[in-house]
């Protein structure tokens, strides 16, 4: 009986010990997570873009800031919480890793070839997309008719808006027009005016090369006479103007490491195109202009030109 009692007490003590250890480890884990969260909060509080409201695009360019608030927010949302900045230099390796996983999982397969690889319906399911302009028809005394402008294009009309099962029909306007405003003529409610934005041509046909100093040349195609903005991996940005045919070319003012550049265009009315991201690799080149001078003390002086910031090995 005494032995059984001792065994029972031992089990109880061991159980409490395990629970106490788990509690300590849990608190440690929470503490580490909290510490990382505080570090991230500090980086966000000290964002280089927190005092940029009200700056013109020229002032932003002079300070090396992104041309729009959207790009600043993307910079903050994609920052590495431990470093306080985005890490575009990792994109190439991430893409390679994802491609390797995809190739391993789906080699020699096509969608729908088995029960575990079925097609899944994603819509559309009577969804008109994002809208920036909505107006009730002033001629409908029942307030059931509504006009809506689609950001992705088109003017739409619903004649039974209070019915959840009602449908939207397209009004006779080109479906690619980005409707941003709808107004009714106060003198004639039968006249409705809409405003739309034609987005500038998104930059394309991008070519990226570099010289022995690591200076990067970017060229491509965009809208004629549009302003091209390029953001380099080091965070700096430069602008140039496309010619009458939409061709542009730009050389970085500082050497760049491998990474991605963000490119956008702006037309004469101040409308911005979509932003594209293009990855590139800076490959070290063979040193050139090498000279070797041997002194009387048997010391040898070797000099030449190579890619900026690269390590030169002489053997």
| Predicted pLDDT at 145 | 94
Q: Spell out the domains of the chain, with CATH numbers in brackets.
A: 35-86 (no CATH), 131-197 (no CATH), 204-280 (2.60.40.10)
Of 26-30, 211-215, 311-315, which range is least confident?
26-30
pTM of the entire predicted model: 0.40
Q: Which of 129, 125, 130, 167 is nearest to 146 (CA)?
A: 167
Q: Can you give 55-76 as a three-state secondary structure string?
A: CCHHHHHHCCCCCCHHHHHHHH
Quick check: 189 and 138 in contact, CB under 8 A? yes
- Quote the pLDDT of residue 18: 59
pLDDT > 80? residue 117? no
The answer to whether 228 and 243 are in contact (CB under 8 A) is: no
Give the number of other Cβ atoms within 10 Å of residue 254's Cβ. 13
- Look at 26-35, 59-68, 82-91 and tell me which has the smallest mean pLDDT: 26-35
For the cut 60, the answer to whether the pLDDT of residue 299 exceeds it is yes
- Kind of pairing, strands 288-294 and 169-170? unpaired
Instruction: Identify the pLDDT of residue 54.
Output: 77
């Amino acid at each position: 009986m005494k032995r059984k009692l001792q065994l029972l007490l031992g089990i109880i003590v061991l159980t409490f010990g395990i629970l106490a250890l788990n509690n300590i480890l849990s608190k440690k884990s929470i503490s580490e997570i909290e510490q990382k969260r505080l570090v991230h909060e500090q980086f966000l509080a000290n964002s280089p873009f927190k005092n940029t409201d009200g700056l013109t695009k020229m002032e932003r360019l002079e300070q090396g800031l992104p041309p729009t608030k959207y790009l600043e927010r993307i910079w903050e949302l994609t920052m590495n919480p431990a470093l306080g900045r985005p890490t575009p230099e990792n994109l190439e390796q991430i893409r390679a890793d994802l491609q390797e996983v995809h190739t391993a999982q789906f080699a020699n397969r096509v969608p729908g070839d088995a029960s575990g690889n079925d097609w899944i319906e994603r819509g559309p399911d009577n969804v008109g997309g994002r809208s920036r302009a909505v107006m009730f028809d002033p001629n409908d005394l029942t307030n059931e008719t509504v006009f809506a402008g689609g950001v992705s294009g088109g003017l739409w009309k619903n004649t039974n808006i209070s019915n959840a099962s009602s449908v939207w029909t397209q009004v006779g306007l080109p479906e690619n027009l980005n409707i941003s405003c709808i107004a009714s003529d106060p003198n004639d409610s039968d006249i409705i005016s809409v405003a739309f934005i034609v987005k500038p041509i998104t930059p394309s046909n991008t070519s990226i090369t570099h010289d022995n100093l690591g200076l990067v040349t970017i060229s491509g195609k965009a809208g004629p006479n549009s302003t091209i903005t390029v953001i380099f991996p080091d965070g700096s940005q430069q602008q140039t103007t496309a010619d009458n045919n939409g061709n542009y070319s730009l050389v970085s003012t500082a050497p760049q490491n491998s990474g991605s550049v963000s490119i956008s265009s702006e037309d004469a009315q101040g409308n911005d195109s979509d932003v594209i991201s293009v990855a590139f690799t800076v490959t070290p080149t063979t040193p050139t202009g090498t000279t070797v001078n041997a002194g009387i003390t048997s010391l040898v002086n070797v000099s030449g030109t190579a890619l900026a910031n690269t390590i030169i090995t002489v053997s």
